[in-house]
Amino acid sequence: AMDLAPYNITVNAVCPGPINTDRMSYWERDQAQERGITQEEFRGQIVENSAQNTPLGRIAEAQDVANMVAFLAGEDASFITGQSYNVNGGQLFH
């Protein structure tokens, strides 16, 4: 951020938590098989665990992360640089 600031270029980091994507679906399938349960049962356990461990009570969707990236790339964030943003429903606080 310091190196690029003289060129009016902002540099920020987006740090997502778990995201509900196809990759998550494959992981759920594999984990369910290892445990001898259905993928739907395992998914239910993940959702319940997320509700207990995430203040917003859910797993992020890709759009949640995309919204943060779009904001940081836009003019409304032109004076924000050198920051890290956790997009994780409150799993991690600073």
CB 15 within 8 A of CB 84: yes
Cα-flanking dihedrals φ and ψ of residue 60, to 5°? -65, 150
Tens digits of per-residue pLDDT, 1-57? 999 999 999 999 999 988 888 888 888 999 999 999 999 999 889 878 887 889 998
Angle between helices 39-53 and 22-35 in degrees, nearest 10: 110
Q: What is the CATH number of the domain that holds 34?
A: 3.40.50.720
**55 inside domain:** yes
pLDDT by residue (tens digit) across 62-93? 999 999 999 999 999 999 999 999 999 998 87
Residue spans of beta strands (DSSP E) within the chain: 13-16, 19-20, 60-61, 84-87
Instruction: Please report whether residue 92 resides in a domain.
Output: no
Give the H/E segment covering residue 30.
helix 22-35
Q: What is the pTM of this model?
A: 0.79
Domain limits at 22? 5-87
pLDDT tens figures, 13-24: 999 988 888 888
